[in-house]
Amino acid sequence: SHAAGPRRTCELPRPAADPDAVASARKDATKRTRLQTAPIAVIDAIEAASRLEFADGLEREKQLFEQCLHGPQSKALIHVFFAERELARIPGIEKDLAFEPVRSAAVLGAGTMGRGIAMCFANAGIPVIISDQTNQAAAAALESIKETYEAGVRKGKMTPADVEKRLALIRPGASLDGFDEADIVVEAVFEDLDTKKRVFTQLDGVAKAGAILATNTSTLDVDAIAAVTGRPEWVCGLHFFSPAHIMKLLEIVRGRATRPEVMASAMELGKRLKKVAVLAGNCHGFIGNRMFAPYREAAIRCVEQGASPWAVDEALTGWGMAMGPIRVGDLSGIDILREVRLAAGLEETVEDQLIAQGRLGEKTGQGWYRYADGRKAEPDAAVEALVRQYASERGIPQRSFSSGEIVDRCISALRAEGEKILAEGMALRASDIDMVYVHGYGFPAWRGGPMFEG
């Protein structure tokens, strides 16, 4: 009846928590939100509510909240929150700058990268042509895109109607048919400067006036590519990360001649593609790959001086990185990373010996690790022997490393390169560098990024 008044929560019987369910939730949270304190604190608070009297339960919840609020992870995540919002502030590009938004796109290159980029446009509702040298290559790309979308339907991430809508926006083609209508053309061909220059000469002859010409290079000189066109001011870099339709990071590279309107349009496009768009200067490797080279070299030097590859990777994943630097090499192909390393002017490492033996990583079934069972990496005694022989022949002193020493060395190398990038003006802010690493390189957001000092 109304006379009874409201039921007070504190007077209700205490709910009983199933110990197995609590243990299972804790295990699941530990696995899914590895090394983060807040998810475990939530479970602790719920468990306290089932075990303690109401007032004591509230007190325990308050303690847990205070610990999270004033803990280092909270400070780092708040930094990430504001750093993401700061990305769009670019000196010289004012809010009222008039620019043409992208309404249609064309992608040249129907390989893995080109397909992913085409999906990015279609997912944002932007019609896109995907083209390659032959109609067959473009048709195969469309078929592969369709399979990717259908896998999304099976996983419950999209509906068949979504697939239909998106596929209707993608038009496969050969050569540069239709490229004269696109507001933006993205080149996604083989990572070779001469090839890209040849392509940009062709694009310059086809693209309409006022179209943005973007290269998806991950390391090459955007100015050298722009120089072969008669309109370098309309050229920029759009470095998508693989797989492009999943990875959130987009490095937008400003060339020496790039107009502010092009940068404004590219940044706005990044937003529509639901990317974390970071402005980068034109230097070898831009921000992310430039920093990754010395970080990974530091990891390899630890191995040469006595640490096992497995121990190096475990130290860094144990610290919070999504994947260890040695394992990343195997995943990418260590022959590809060697090219990046040589171009960055870094010296020979023991990795060159692995390449000489045809151990190129996952794609050859063996690299730093063995891949007997698909993608599962296993330590390989042959690599350990090869590394020790290499060190012995070169008189490299051997020692043991703690996990902390490995982490300090590698993260310090990462940060030191970041400092150089900032000093050269290749990144606007230290927090922009943090966003590159959090969103593109598996750096734990709850540590704030490589430049964040807490």
291: closest CA among 424, 112, 117? 424
Average pLDDT over residues 278-298: 95
184: closest CA among 108, 109, 93, 256? 108
Q: What is the pLDDT of residues 201-210, one digit of tens each?
A: 999 999 999 9
Residue 1 has pLDDT above 70, yes or no: no
Residue 360: band (very low, low, confident or very high) from pLDDT cuts 50, 70, 90: very high
Q: Which helix (H) or strand (E) holds 173?
A: strand 170-174
φ/ψ (deg, to 5) at 423: -60, -35
Residue 103 has pLDDT above 80, yes or no: yes
Return d(Cα 341, Cα 186) in angstroms, integer: 26
Residue 373: band (very low, low, confident or very high) from pLDDT cuts 50, 70, 90: confident
Q: What is the pLDDT of residues 232-282, one digit of tens each?
A: 999 999 999 989 999 999 999 999 999 999 999 999 999 999 999 999 999
Q: What pLDDT shows up at residue 454?
A: 67
Within 177-219, where are the H helices?
193-206
Q: What pLDDT shows up at residue 419?
A: 98
Residue 342 has pLDDT above 90, yes or no: no
Residue 12: band (very low, low, confident or very high) from pLDDT cuts 50, 70, 90: confident
| Beta bridge partners of residue 408, listed in sequence order | none
Q: What pLDDT shows up at residue 347?
A: 84
**The two structure tokens encoding residue 59:** 């007190």
Return d(Cα 401, Cα 305) in angstroms, integer: 9
User: Which amino acid belongs to residue 405?
Assistant: E
Q: What is the pLDDT of residues 36-59, one digit of tens each?
A: 999 999 999 999 999 999 999 999
Q: What is the pLDDT of residues 77-98, one digit of tens each?
A: 999 999 999 999 999 888 888 9
Q: Which helix (H) or strand (E) holds 184?
A: strand 184-187
Return d(Cα 122, Cα 140) in angstroms, integer: 17
Q: What is the pLDDT of residues 226-238, one digit of tens each?
A: 999 999 999 999 9
Residue 7: band (very low, low, confident or very high) from pLDDT cuts 50, 70, 90: confident
Q: What pLDDT shows up at residue 340?
A: 74
Q: What pLDDT shows up at residue 212?
A: 98
Residue 324 has pLDDT above 60, yes or no: yes
Return d(Cα 330, Cα 415) in angstroms, integer: 23
Q: What pLDDT shows up at residue 205?
A: 97
SS3 220: coil
Average pLDDT over residues 176-200: 95
Per the listing, tokens 């590809």 go with 336
**The two structure tokens encoding residue 385:** 């022997």
Which pTM was predicted? 0.92
